[in-house]
Structure 1
Amino acid sequence: MEGALVSYAACRQLSQLLAVVAFFHVSEFVLAVATHGRSKMSMTSLLISKQYVIAMACALVEYAMELALFPELKEHWWISNFGLVIVLIGEIIRKAAILTAGRAFTHKIKTQRENSHHLITRGIYGFVRHPGYCGFFLYAVGTQVMLCSPISIVVFAAVTWRFFSTRIRYEEFFLKQFFGVEYAQYAARVPSGLPFIK
């Protein structure tokens, strides 16, 4: 087991995981501060929840067990590299959403319409209605593809999809109230950005 943890595969994959996770969370916080100001931010803007830590810990347990029992599973570089590409695409989509929406992008769903609210349909929002969720979904699943961890790929995809499917319904309830027909027309022509969510 100890030899497997210092193998080239483990060192490369775990260092890539550390790098992409650190970049994701730090960049989320930096963009939130740049957009909304430091006084309105808290540590929750890092997007590190108890559930997220538990999920990543379970993923690392799976990785360590597979590394010890089936080290050849971690040697599929084309799969690992494909996972890294998925992570990068997810990051690009999510960061494009944040930069396009500007102050309209928040980590908490708005339930009251403010005077400054307007429907954003330009840029990445012209291709997907929820690029922030789409990007996070790709990032989360991509991290597990990058680690060649089959169980975590399925679990991360299922749990993240379920979370966002519920969140999208909740958020769109308010978006329909805020923007009425304009949002209905937008939703009819632009996909949600997540599979099987209309």
Structure 2
Amino acid sequence: MGNLHTSIAVASICLTSAFLGCVFGLGFFVWIIYGYSIGGFFAFLSLFHLLEFYITARFQGSQLSWDSFILNNGKAYWLAMLVGLLECLLSGGKSFAKVINCLRFPSFLINFIFSVYQTSALGFLCLGQYLRSSAMVQAGQSFSHIVASKRNKDHLLVTDGIYAYVRHPSYVGFFIWALGTQMLLGNFVSTLLFSLVLWKFFSQRITTEEAYLVSFFGDSYEQYRKKVPSGIPLIP
């Protein structure tokens, strides 16, 4: 039974990796060749989930499972992505542009603002992915996709590298990356909603997680928390 379970798990991982790879390739092709931002959205989305699994396999091997793709990231996650896609499709990818047009700025200024918005989207996606992946790599076995309520033997307090600048770089990375997905789609409403919902989510999660971290590391974490910001605006 154990081998059967292992075989099923490996098969599921292989199929999921192949599927995500195909989505990435097709999305990237559609984005680059035809200029459809929705293709770029799917390319960055699939790459994110592939990297979550790969980095877990490489640096947190003891935690590895199909769940490491974090495709089962909750109904709210996929609902939010669906809402973003719908806004893009219904507005033709011009939701943000339509809002800017309502301000009746000169056409050259509108074009400039929209260009900055699109360029910022790529910057957000790349920066967010870099921060997220770097945080997972540098934390090593101390990183977990699930808030740990008990300290295991491999759980260390990481305060160097990227953690010397922000306490929760993986959350900051995801926050920035998620906003980038909506900006790439040209969304206005979803970008605002994502920022509000994610801020509330991470505010609650950081409060819960840091209560455990204080119980694990005591004064060491208290001192670290005083010196280093969380990295997310308005969350100390």
Same fold (TM over 0.5): yes
User: Deviations along 1:117-166, whole A, 9 cap, x unmatched?
Assistant: 22100000000000000000000011111222010001111111111111
2:152 is equivalent to residue 114 of structure 1:
yes
Structure label with greater radius of gyration: 2
Q: Give the share of equivalent positions with the same residue, in percent.
A: 36
AA aligned opposite 1:190: V
User: Deviations along 1:93-120, whole A, 9 cap, x unmatched?
Assistant: 1111011101111101111122332210
Consecutive unaligned residues of structure 1, counting only runs of 5 or more, are 1-5
After the TM superposition, which residues 133-144 of structure 1 pair with which residues of structure 2 at under 5 Å, given as runs? 133-144=171-182
In the other structure, the counterpart of 1:27 is 51
In the other structure, the counterpart of 1:42 is 65
In the other structure, the counterpart of 1:149 is 187
Q: Please, what TM-score do these two structures have when normalized by structure 2?
A: 0.74
CA distance in 2, matches of 1:130, 1:7: 32
After the TM superposition, which residues 56-95 of structure 1 pair with which residues of structure 2 at under 5 Å, given as runs? 56-67=81-92, 73=98, 76-95=114-133
Specify whether residues 125 and 68 from structure 1 end up closer, same or farther in structure 2 by C-alpha distance, changes over 3 A only.
closer
The alignment covers a number of residue pairs equal to 192
CA distance in 2, matches of 1:154, 1:72: 15
CA RMSD in angstroms comes to 2.5
Ranges of 4+ aligned residues in structure 1 off by more than 6 Å: 68-71
1:174 to 203, 212, 220: 212
Q: Please, what TM-score do these two structures have when normalized by structure 1?
A: 0.88
Q: In the alignment, is the contact (CA less than 8 A) between 1:67 and 1:73 conserved in 2?
A: no
Specify whether residues 137 and 121 from structure 1 end up closer, same or farther in structure 2 by C-alpha distance, changes over 3 A only.
same
Consecutive unaligned residues of structure 2, counting only runs of 5 or more, are 1-29, 100-110
In the other structure, the counterpart of 1:3 is none
In the other structure, the counterpart of 1:191 is 229
